[in-house]
Amino acid sequence: MVRLLLTSAAALAACAPSPQENAMHRKSPESPASAQAAAVAPIPEPVPVTENPLPSPRADSPLEAAGRRTLSTAFVRVGPDGHLTVELRDGRVLVLRDVALRPKDFCGVQVAGSKPGGRYCGGYAEVAAARPGG
């Protein structure tokens, strides 16, 4: 009987949370000052979108739109070598790798062209043709 009571007492002690656990789970009551400050804070009025419109993005020119389409079509077909050949409207031909198509322009590292090894960034309106490979 005494053994049963000791075993039960030990089991209850193991299940009871420690004072540290009680402190972690205890919620602190809010002070009246913080509740009062929250009650008097002004609530901002919603503003209709028509009163504060965002500036619309600039539309591509026809040359930019055609160059973007041409370059992105070739870009998705780039093979394992990672090279993209870009023909510019001024007659230059560039072979680029690590090409990034950005909102207003494109950039890549030149493999062949005017400055091999240098970085080239140009606008989409400059693109006359593009194809994957070198």
* C-alpha distance across the termini of the chain, in Å: 90
In this prediction, residue 110 carries a pLDDT of 92
Q: Give all domains of the chain, ordered by start, each with its CATH number.
A: 81-132 (2.30.30)
User: Is the pTM here over 0.85, yes or no?
Assistant: no
In this prediction, residue 58 carries a pLDDT of 76
Residue whose C-alpha is closest to residue 66's, from 74, 58, 78: 74
In this prediction, residue 11 carries a pLDDT of 60
pLDDT in tens, the chain (134 residues): 556 555 665 665 666 666 666 665 555 555 555 555 556 777 877 777 666 676 767 788 899 999 999 999 999 999 889 999 999 999 999 999 999 999 889 999 999 766 777 899 999 999 999 999 87
